A = this chain, B = another copy of it.
Amino acid sequence: MSDQNATDDGRPGGSLAHRVPDLGALELLLAVARLGSLGAAAREVGITQPAASSRIRSMERQLGVALVDRSPRGSRLTDAGALVTDWARRVVEAAAAFDAGARALRDRRDSRLRVAASMTIAEYLLPGWLLALHAARPDTAVSLLAGNSAKVAELLLAGEADLGFVEGLTVPAGLDSAVIAHDRLIVVTAPGHPWARRRRPVTTQELAATPLILRERGSGTRQVLDTALGGLARPLIELSSTTAVKASAVSGAGPSVLSELAVGEELAMRRLVGIPVEGLSLHRDLRAVWPTGHRPTGPARELLSLTRG
């Protein structure tokens, strides 16, 4: 049980969970950074001071880095501690988004705002919106149902959802809509791919002629791409989830075309590289939708206003 298990996505052995402090410890660290005292941080997260002291200490031992300078009149972060705290904040924020999403997924019934959203939006945008809504109206219980555009329309028309979100080129019949954001499809490759190194943009013709890793025909993403290329997209592999497509692209199987929402993280981490394409606008609107005539009111209106730039 040393580190004989290297996962196939290239991470080091020994499982992250054994090398990264747990969420409670990271939250405690953030509280210490903000409040300048172990005891005050302990009170905030609802534990005793000795527990906080011990937890911070074991986190320092685990990371092998001194994080806080203790003194009889308080504790301040070391330089390394400040850096670690910033990294920790990202983990905690991702966890908060997870929590907001999971909460909405759980509270299926009896919630004041029932949202139906397409997968891409539910995956990448909704948790953030829910966090913002929660910050503005802490007592609004939200429930979430995810599906494709047709399913969203069905739920709205059956009165089983109050507000919907869809991406795509058309608005389902019977629904009014408002554009809330724009999404762009991006051509991406692994950093090792020849396209990642060339200087001039790829041409539309080249893109149409190159086999690509794609979602299945009929998916929103594929639809936009096919339309933009004139139905010519040539699949290298067809996969049924955005995640699978990304994984395949990251592993270097070939170029892919994905929503900028989906690849933001990968681009930042340089697991994927965006390839400029000449003269091609792979653009789609993200829309909020509701039954014709029933303008959103109350919490639905609140959420809607949060989503508009």
Could you list which residues of chain A lie within 8 angstroms of chain B, going by C-beta atoms?
1, 5-7, 9-12, 15-17, 19-20, 22-24, 27, 31, 33, 44-46, 63-65, 79-80, 82-99, 101-103, 105-106, 119, 122-123, 125, 127-129, 131-132, 134-135, 138, 146-147, 191, 241, 243, 264-265, 268-271, 273-274, 306-307, 309
Contact = CB atoms under 8 A, between A and B. Distances in A.
B19 A22 contact: no
A120 B239 CA distance: 37
Instruction: Report copies per complex.
Output: 2
A127 B89 CA distance: 13
Return the 9 tightest CB-CB contacts between A and B, nearest first.
A17-B24, A128-B269, A10-B135, A64-B106, A17-B23, A91-B94, A94-B94, A87-B98, A132-B270
Nearest to A265: B93
B12 A95 contact: no
Contacts of A87: 97-98, 101-102, 123, 127
Contacts of A102: 19-20, 63-65, 84, 87
A130 to B, nearest CB: 10
A270 B138 CA distance: 16
A265 to B, nearest CB: 6
Given A84-B105, A106-B65, A20 B95 contact: yes
Nearest to A107: B64
B6 A27 contact: no
A96 B6 CA distance: 14
B95 A10 contact: no
16 contacts: A7-B31, A10-B135, A11-B134, A20-B23, A20-B99, A65-B105, A79-B146, A82-B241, A86-B123, A87-B97, A89-B243, A90-B98, A132-B191, A132-B271, A264-B268, A273-B309
Contacts of A269: 93, 97, 128, 131-132
Contacts of A24: 15, 17
A284 to B, nearest CB: 18
Nearest to A14: B46
Contact of A138 (B10, B79, B122, B265): B10
Nearest to A59: B102
A17 B12 contact: no
